[in-house]
Structure 1
Amino acid sequence: MIVLLLAAAAAPASPSPLRVMSFNVRLPVEADGANRWEARRDIAAAAVRRARPDVIGTQELHKRQGDDLIARLPGYAWFGIDRRGGHADEHMGVVYNRRTIRLVQFGEFWLSDTPTIPGSISWGHPYPRMVTWAIFERVRDKRQFRLLDTHLPYRAEDEGAREKGAQMIVARLTTLPGADLPTVLTGDFNTTPDSATYATLTAALADTRPAAARRDGPEATFHNYTGVADRRIDWILARGFTPLTAKTLNDHKGPVWASDHFPILAELNFTR
């Protein structure tokens, strides 16, 4: 009996899925009225607590929003610089659970002809666009993975710029540190799955929603504070993982929503 108990105690723990969220938090503007940041920050933090992600790729995050979220999320931290190279504008901020994963390395590049220059713009769109990337290690089993997070140009006429940005991201998959690691790309891509941008990205990374064994919540993600979404522009793409579930989250309190986008969550099993 003692031998059996010792053997059972020594057996390795069963693997658990990696929980990845993508969340356009909507920048803080007073024009949002009832949905201004101060009214919805508790709802946004509650959405994260319920989803229990290991890591979140955010978009439109301002520093005070990141700090507000971390103040409401014990055990979490965030990092990143803004799209102009400081902390006064929108960040592709990465939020992570320090109890489940450890930050190993991180950096950023800009989606432009000069990707190492902060704030650089090319291809005719009005605002700098960037990628924050990081390598993490899980605390429980030391498995490492890489995350990239982005926000592509938003105007209808920017599809060419979005496609060029997608091409740069795909090219960087092989040149950034951790090229051989399981990789996740989160983002607000401001285009739909019938676009050339989507085709470029999914030639290198699988869309976790259609690949997941179980899907919960609406497919579309942008709802403009109405709760009724009309476009799926937020995606979690991956390689080196098997998607188990894909969820669209619709946290709100009455007419006040966590954001004008639904956050999305994927549960992923490592395949190696």
Structure 2
Amino acid sequence: MEFRLMTFNLRYENDVDGQFSWKNRRDLAVELILDQAPAIICTQEGLEPMLRFIGDRLGGYSMIGSGRNVDGTGEFSAILVDDSRFSILDSGQFWISETPDVPGSLGWGAGLPRICTWCVVKARGGEELGVFNVHLDHRSVEARVRGVDLLLERMAECRVPRVLCGDFNARPNSAEIRHVSREVEGTIRLVNCYDETSAASPLPAGTFHGFSDRVRPGAIDYIFHTADIRLNSLSVDARKRDGIWPSDHYPLIADLSV
């Protein structure tokens, strides 16, 4: 089975982004997704109206997830699944904290509640896939490292080929990212897609540009996978139009095979 996976931090809708506000970016964001045609989209920072707009324009995708706050509001780490490619067998959400099943909980000095949304999907040919989508904390290194531990523990409970993607708020050589790919008994070992790319197909210097032509060095958006999945290609979509980007992050796109 071959499929395309996208991870895309949408930049939450707010009153301070001026010309880069969501209403000025949303059509280009939808155009980008339609052009790339991913079977699975892992989003970060989407608010419910933003995700509803995207879902309505795309059509044919099921959305998984809810807001990170105790009442289900706030930023989502939503997963969108192409109904023509996959059916959803199971799904859920947990918080990156010492009490991961308590909605709205914070952990390890995190500045904000952080969540992982996950699902198990089944392709039309019968292949199954586990998808985990996370947005780790921007403030606390400990919250990110401990969050990785929690992610690997939860992913180890899933017995099918798995992918982990999202905004890790950490550079490639950081302890947090090295932590993801380590091999520890009782968890799983994941492959970083960046480690599989070659000089023949270089990627931009980073994935976060902050609505500027100066991309900050070192990616903070990642796709990892288990060894039973093969990476065929990895790219970012760096489009902009009339000085407007779809988001302050570039989406990362992987073509994968199970």
TM-score w.r.t. the length of structure 1 is 0.88
Residue identity matched to 1:163: V
- Please point out which of 214, 224, 247 is paired with 1:237: 224
- 1:138-177 correspondence to structure 2 within 5 Å: 138-139=123-124, 141-155=125-139, 158-175=140-157
1:181 aligns with 2:160: yes
Which deviates the most, 67-76 or 142-151?
67-76
Q: Counterparts of 1:120 and 1:111 in 2: how far apart (Å)?
A: 8
Q: Would you say the 8 A contact 1:209–1:215 is kept in 2?
A: no
Q: Give the secondary structure class of the aligned counterpart of 1:107.
A: strand
Q: 1:191 maps to what in 2?
A: 170
* Residue 75 (str. 1) matches residue 60 (str. 2): yes
Cα distance in 2 between the residues matched to 1:87 and 1:125: 18
Cα distance in 2 between the residues matched to 1:33 and 1:235: 28
* Count of paired positions: 249
Which of 254, 257, 263 aligns to 2:251? It is 263
Q: Distance in 2 between matches of 1:167 and 1:202?
A: 11
Asked whether 1:208 is paired with 2:187, we answer: no
Cα distance in 1, alignment partners of residues 46 and 107 from structure 2: 22
Partner of 1:226: 212
Q: TM-score, normalised by structure 2?
A: 0.92
Which residue of structure 1 lines up, in the alignment, with residue 186 of structure 2? none
Residue 25 of structure 1: which of 2, 6, 10 is its match? 10
Deviation at 1:81, TM superposition (A): 1.0
SS of the aligned residue for 2:17 comes to: helix
Q: Which amino acid aligns with 2:251?
A: P
Check conservation: 1:191, 1:233, Cα contact below 8 A. yes
Q: Determine if contact 2:165/2:223 at 8 Å carries over to the other structure.
A: yes
CA distance in 1, matches of 2:71, 2:89: 22
Gaps of 5+ in 2: 183-188
Post-superposition Cα deviations, 1:212-242, rounded to whole Å, max 9, x if no partner, equal: 4674641410000113311300000001211
Q: CA deviation at 1:105?
A: 0.7
Distance in 2 separating the partners of 1:186 and 1:173: 12
SS of the aligned residue for 2:156 comes to: coil
For 1:183, the aligned partner's letter is R
Q: Spell out, residue by residue over 1:124-156, the C-alpha distance to the aligned partner (whole angstroms, 9 max, x if none).
A: 1221111101001112x111100000001112x
Rg comparison, structure with higher value: 1
- The farther-off stretch of 82-91 and 252-261 is 82-91
The aligned runs of 1:87-102 (5 Å cut-off) are 87-102=72-87
Q: Percent of counterpart pairs with the same letter?
A: 29
Three-state SS of the structure 2 residue aligned to 1:200 is helix
CA shift for structure 1 position 85: 4.0
Any conservation in 2 of the 1:106–1:134 contact (CA below 8 Å)? yes
The 2-side partners of 1:252 and 1:85 are apart by 36
Task: Classify 1:133/1:264 alpha carbon distance in 2 versus 1 (closer, same or farther; 3 Å).
Answer: same
CA distance in 2 between counterparts of 1:87 and 1:32 reads: 24
Q: Which residue number in structure 2 is paired with residue 10 of structure 1?
A: none
Counterparts of 2:74 and 2:84, CA distance in 1: 29
- For 1:84 and 1:211, the matched residues in 2 are separated by 36
Residue 40 of structure 1: how far off its partner (Å): 0.5
Task: Find the aligned partners of 2:12 and 2:78 in 1 and give their Cα distance.
Answer: 12
RMSD: 1.4
Q: Please identify runs of 4+ aligned residues in structure 1 that moved more than 4 A.
A: none
Q: Find the aligned partners of 1:171 and 1:190 in 2 and give their Cα distance.
A: 20
